[in-house]
Amino acid sequence: MKALRFTASLLLVGAILALYRVLPPAKINNTTVALTLLLAILGVSTWWGLAEATAASILAVLGFNYFFLPPVGTLTIQDPQNLVAFIAFLVTAVTASQLSDRARRRAAEAEARRLEIERLYALVQAMMPGGSARKTIREFVNKVVQVFGCDGAAFYYRPTGEILRSGPESQPVSDHDLQAAAEIDDISINVGRSLATAPVRLGGRPLGSMALIGALPSEQTLRAIVNLVAITIEKARALEDASHAEAARQSEVLKSALLDSLAHDIKTPLTSIKAAVTSLLGSAPRTERELLTIINEEADRLNQLAAEVIAMARIEAGKLHLEKRPVGARDLIASALAECAVPLKGRPVTVNVAKGLPAAEADREFVEQVVKQFIENAVNYSPEGSPIAITAELKSGRIMIGVADRGPGIEENERSRVFDKFFRGRQHRFSTKGTGMGLAIAKGIVEAHGERIWVESEPGHGSAFYFSLPVVVGAQPEEVAKVERGQNPGGG
């Protein structure tokens, strides 16, 4: 094809020279011949390229000199004016050829860029993630081959180690080449093999590599392709994670609703059982009283279990509605101690509430439940008769309430899990009664107040559970006494 274009260029110049040669000399002049040859050379440069135009220029210069510049029939020039005209023609022909070729190449490059932009746009339009990352990669590889006309494409997905291929010619790039390409820093283009490989990264995090075989796009377009596939994969992964999270949330909501409903259904017959047993205990003979007492205690335990299940279900469903008002720490502790009077029987309990402690802004009923849970936890996990210490103080603008025991303590690897549902320490897994939900409920209540709960423990020296509460804005120490007496703080 190249040789044919050279031949056609030379024949065109030869035809022009022959035409002017056969015409009568009186009807032509050298300027007309030169301009005609120059136009032909510009046409050759525009249509076929610089090399063909250069060859045509050389033939035109030699022919113009031989046939039209005196002495005709030789390659010598006698008249200085003709020499100047000859040189001007030569320079003009070569310069015009170069300019025309440059314009043609730039037009071709602009057209190629336009075409690649259209292809990239088509690729973007086609790649709207709607499935898993693997499905998105498969569709992307197939679409690249289709849109850019490549012989084949391959993608190495590093997180799973999977290699996806498209097109019959995707085998020339090996699995090892793709894995190695994921570790390099830049694009590699092998023109001889018609092969391009590029790492795929997002924010410096490697996702894998991609290879194209056959008709290759420009390096800039190749960079745009790998950047696009990185963004598409990340978006697909984000959508997939969001879908899983939503499914898990819906499952949790359903589970909480079922637990809540089940607990309510259990609570209704328990109320009847409790009422009947209480009535029978008053008039039952001694021989039956022991059995009725067991029924009564187990009914209380089942009632407590149902209450904890309902509380846990509400916390997990985000349906814990707080009625916040000023609450005195001393009053909270006193109420919780009164509720726990039976299990605390025979236990030395010390209460240390800091003087001038302002009121806390909290839901009294729920927070009292947290203090009660801490006390019951201390009773269950410390030796009978060992002391329990309860404190309340102001730290960093928060009221801190804590309950400490002299039990065996909590191992370091278990401290971060003590507030999980159903968790029990290795030492007490089978020896202590309860549902394992008490501390999880306490955590949910405290976090619903926007505060934090934690434990401090040293094996062999006991544990101390703490939680924080916000201070009532503008609360004065004197108002605490009014709160504890059940008066309206701020009323007369």
| 18-33: average pLDDT | 78
Could you read off the pLDDT of 106-154 as tens digits, one per residue? 877 777 777 777 666 666 666 665 566 777 777 777 777 777 777 888 8
Most confident of 162-176, 226-240, 271-285, 332-346: 332-346
The answer to whether position 455 is within a domain reads yes
Residue 123 maps to a domain: no
Check whether residue 331 and residue 424 sit in a common domain: yes
Residues 374, 254: one domain?
Answer: no
Q: Classify the C-alpha dihedral 197-203-208-214 as positive or negative.
A: negative
CATH number for 138: 3.30.450.40
CA-to-CA dists, residue 129 to 138, 159, 346, 347, angstroms: 11, 18, 67, 64
Last residue of a domain, one of 317, 337, 364: 317
| Residue among 370, 487, 353 nearest 440 (CA) | 370
- pLDDT value at residue 489: 44
Q: Do residues 351 and 430 both lie within one domain?
A: yes
Task: Give me the mean pLDDT over the 336-349 stretch.
Answer: 88
pLDDT beyond 80 at 455: yes
Where is average pLDDT lowest: 72-76, 182-186, 264-268, 395-399? 264-268
pLDDT given at position 129? 53
| 205/265 same-domain check | no
Instruction: Name, of 96-105, 203-212, 280-289, 398-407, the range with top average pLDDT.
Output: 398-407
**3-state SS assignment for residue 345:** coil
Do both 299 and 215 map to the same domain?
no
Q: What pLDDT sits at residue 289?
A: 75
Q: What is the rounded CA–CA span in Å between residue 128 and residue 40?
A: 52
Whether residues 45 and 160 fall in one domain: no
Domain for residue 117, yes or no? no
What percentage of residues in the chain have a pLDDT greater than 70? 77
Query: Confidence class of residue 491 from pLDDT cuts 50, 70 and 90?
Result: very low
Claim to verify: residue 265 and residue 394 sit in the same structural domain: no
**Inside any domain, residue 119:** no
Q: Which of 390, 382, 361 is nearest to 474 (CA)?
A: 361
Domain assignment present for residue 116? The answer is no
Higher pLDDT, 448 or 113: 448
Q: How confident is the model at residue 480 (pLDDT cuts 50, 70, 90)?
A: very low
Give the range among 99-103, 208-212, 387-391 with minimum mean pLDDT.
99-103
- What's the rounded mean pLDDT across residues 296-301? 74
Q: Give the number of other CB atoms < 10 A from CB of residue 314.
A: 18
Compute the half-sphere exposure of residue 239: CA atoms within 13 Å on the CB side of its CA: 15
Cβ neighbour number for residue 72 with a 10 Å cutoff? 11
Domain contains 260: yes
- The more confidently predicted of residues 269 and 350 is 350
pLDDT tens-digit map of 64-85: 778 877 777 777 766 666 566 6
**For residue 430, pLDDT beyond 50:** no
Of residues 440 and 133, the one with the higher pLDDT is 440
What local confidence, expressed as pLDDT, does residue 195 receive?
A: 84
Does one domain contain both 200 and 254?
Answer: no
User: The tokens 């607990």 sit on which residue?
Assistant: 263
Q: Which residues contact 44 (CB under 8 A, 6 or more apart)?
A: 9, 12, 52, 53, 56, 97
**Per-residue confidence band for 478, with pLDDT thresholds at 50, 70 and 90:** very low
* Highest-scoring range by mean pLDDT, 42-46, 165-169, 330-334: 330-334
- Judge whether residue 389 has pLDDT over 90: yes
Instruction: Say if strands 463-470 and 398-404 run parallel, antiparallel, or are unpaired.
Output: antiparallel
* pLDDT tens per residue across span 215-233: 777 778 788 887 887 877 7
Tell which residue, 229, 219, 217, 231, has the closest CA to residue 147.
Answer: 217
Q: What is the DSSP letter of 339?
A: H
Q: What percent of the chain has pLDDT over 90?
A: 14
Distances (CA, A) of 377 to 369, 386, 403: 12, 13, 9
* pLDDT for position 335: 92
149 shares its domain with 272: no
**Cα atoms in the 13 Å half-sphere on the side-chain side of 95:** 6
CA distances from 50 to 1, 5, 12, 62, 252 (A): 15, 11, 16, 18, 73
- Give the pLDDT score at 452: 92
User: Domain span at residue 252?
Assistant: 245-317
- 348 and 464 both lie in a single domain: yes
Instruction: Mark whether 97 and 21 lie in a shared domain.
Output: yes
Q: Provide the pLDDT confidence category of residue 349 given band limits of 50, 70 and 90.
A: very high
Number of domains composing the chain: 4
The pLDDT of 279-308, averaged and rounded, is 74
Any domain includes 477: no
Candidates 378, 400, 381, 382; CA nearest to 391 is 400
Last residue of a domain, one of 184, 207, 238: 238
Query: Would residue 485 count as lying in a domain?
Result: no
Q: What is the pLDDT of residue 374?
A: 92
* Average pLDDT, integer, range 460-471: 91
Predicted pLDDT of residue 453? 93
- As beta bridge partners, residue 469 has 399
For residues 465 and 332, state if they share a domain. yes
* Chain segment 167-178, per-residue pLDDT in tens: 765 567 788 888
Q: What is the pTM of this model?
A: 0.46
Q: What is the mean pLDDT of the chain?
A: 77
- The residue among 287, 317, 347 that closes a domain is 317
